Amino acid sequence: MEIMESSLGLIVRGCVAALAFATLTGASAADSPATATIHADQPGAKIDRHIYGQFAEHLGRGIEEGVWVGEDSKIPNVRGFRNDVVAALRELHVPVVRWPGGCFADEYHWRDGIGPRATRPVTLNTNWGGVPESNAFGTHEFLDFVQLIGADAYINGNAGTGSPREMAEWLHYLTSDKPTALTAERARNGHPGPWKIAYFAVGNETWGCGGNMTLDHYVDVFRQYATFLKTPLGARPEIIASGGHDEDTSWTEGLLARGGADLGAVSFHYYTIPGELWRNKGPAIGFGAEQWVSTLAHTLRMEDFIHANTAIMDKYDPQKKVAFAVDEWGTWYDPETGREPGFLYQQNTLRDAVVAAINFNLFHQHADRVRMANIAQMVNVLQAMVLTRGPQMVLTPTYHVFRMFRPFQDATFLPTDLQTPRYTLGNTSVPAISVSAARTAAGAIVIALVNLDPGKAMPISLSLPGATPRTVKGEILTASALDAHNTFDNPDAVLPARFTGASIKSGKLSLTLPAKSVAVLNVE
């Protein structure tokens, strides 16, 4: 991740200008109901569970204290990992975790994080606060951690300050089953056998903090490094290239055109901010309706970005072999007063939960290409699932959305035609309703609904051709305040509740969705 003041300021201003066609005289959520047709008879792509992935960077308290406290800590732990955080993440069915960065990845040398912890070098985290990095959490700890929570491993290799040899030896250390010096060293460090690595990236944000490379230079770097990423037969991870961000599609075009046969996925990064400039993004709490709607309008740009990039991918790869990996996404606000700005700690509210649900609905709609996504980040950083303070832990509204959406993991996407009014405030307008649907392996239909209007409930009618609905049940997440959030003193202020407002009549589903809410329904 990298702060891009000038370019993203222009992008966000363009977003607001593009939305200016709507006025206060336009339709609002109160003027007419929303209707949707869920085509249960036209199944689409599988929604890869990896789009519910997480991201853990060496940044602030994201790893140390957030995940790792060490075996000697008074905080209850197993082998140094916090029991409460591990249990919370297991409950989410986290499918994949990306590590060690982020910008940190391209200054990370994997040998600093192996061997006895007492002899590991203390290095400097130049990207995030300029603080010492103990390297207590390294390769073995990360892979132990993902095994504890039941997730796949996504490792981001160092293409910025590293070398092809360093990256190749790391992958050899991880995956080889042959008797070599590296595998003998791995055994001495406590892991005789190889690990299974699901994804491996060649660099991160190589257009910025990963080296300020030109596209042409990085395409050559990717091809060079990927050539030497060798593993035993059947053990090679999917190789991910460092792609573009926001509205820049040139990196996708260049990589698809010239990236070569090793290219398994192209990464993409987009952060949602409520303001127009990175230096004045807006607060995480204490905001009003204007920043509510501007945040949602900006996050909806994800649809345009995905569409533009996947259209290019379809030109070069019509068989859709190469995936589009949105491996950094989420909200980013101004730092809290009195906190280290470089630690990127922010409170997480109902607004963040709505942002997460909107993005999931968009990812579902592009499930044929978007086969992995990683929210930034997992614990104590940006749009986190979990916040910790010493021995205390609190689950955020975003955490609860991830839990509510679990049935969509590996379900089959069902296309939906939606007619919805718009929520309009001043010169900014957004659809009042967001929806997606899927059929689970057990045969149930799951439907995710989001009401973006912060003040008005929305009547919704859904038809399901190809299905005969008999029962419906569900959960809803909402609260009275726009910035409702959970704290260490009040950890249950925003919690999902049972939703009983849906009914079935003549094969149609009817409900009224409360203002500023997220609901997930199970229809059988």
Per-residue pLDDT of the chain (524 residues; tens, 9 = 90+): 544 433 333 333 333 333 332 222 233 544 689 999 999 999 999 999 999 999 999 999 999 999 999 999 999 999 999 999 999 999 999 999 999 999 999 999 999 999 999 999 999 999 999 999 999 999 999 999 999 999 999 999 999 999 999 999 999 999 999 999 999 999 999 999 999 999 999 999 999 999 999 999 999 999 999 999 999 999 999 999 999 999 999 999 999 999 999 999 999 999 999 987 788 899 999 999 999 999 999 999 999 999 999 999 999 999 999 999 999 999 999 988 888 889 999 999 999 999 999 999 999 999 999 999 999 999 999 999 999 999 999 999 999 999 999 999 999 999 999 999 999 999 999 999 999 999 999 999 999 999 999 999 999 999 999 999 999 999 999 999 999 999 999 999 999 999 999 999 988 999 999 999 999 999 99
Residue at 43 is within a domain: no
Residue at 80 is within a domain: yes
**Cα torsion 98, 102, 104, 110: sign:** positive
H helix or E strand, kind and range, residue 426: none
CA distances from 62 to 110, 345, 461 (A): 19, 9, 42
- Return the structure tokens found at 214: 């030109």
- Return the structure tokens found at 251: 């990196």
Number of H helices, E strands in the chain: 11, 27
The DSSP 8-state label assigned to residue 100 in this structure reads S
3-class secondary structure, 252: helix
Residue at 216 is within a domain: yes
**Under a CB-based contact definition with an 8 Å cutoff, are residues 306 and 370 in contact?**
yes
Burial status of residue 37 (CB atoms within 10 A of its CB: 0-12, 13-18, 19 or more): middle
3-class secondary structure, 419: strand
| Residue given tokens 């593009």 in the structure block | 18
Catalytic, 247? Answer no
Active-site residue, from 205, 238, 253, 276 = 205
The whole-number pLDDT of residue 516 equals 98
**Under a CB-based contact definition with an 8 Å cutoff, are residues 223 and 262 in contact?**
yes
The whole-number pLDDT of residue 1 equals 55
Q: How far apart are CA 239 and CA 513, in angstroms?
A: 42
Residue spans of beta strands (DSSP E) within 96-135: 96-99, 123-125, 131-133
Q: Which residues contact 229 (CB under 8 A, 6 or more apart)?
A: 167, 168, 171, 200, 202, 236, 239, 262
The whole-number pLDDT of residue 426 equals 94
Residue spans of beta strands (DSSP E) within 113-237: 123-125, 131-133, 152-157, 199-202
Residue at 376 is within a domain: yes
State the CATH number of the domain containing residue 122. 3.20.20.80
pTM: 0.93
Residue at 141 is within a domain: yes
The whole-number pLDDT of residue 340 equals 87
How far from chain centre, in Å, is Cα 266?
15
**Cα torsion 199, 62, 361, 313: sign:** negative
Q: How far apart are CA 358 and CA 431, in angstroms?
A: 11
Residue at 284 is within a domain: yes
Catalytic, 276? Answer no
Domain count, the chain: 1
> Across the chain, which distance is largest between two alpha carbons, in Å?
73
The whole-number pLDDT of residue 4 equals 41
Residue at 211 is within a domain: yes
CA distances from 181 to 158, 168, 186, 187 (A): 22, 14, 9, 10
Residue at 147 is within a domain: yes
Host domain of residue 357: 55-408
The whole-number pLDDT of residue 62 equals 97
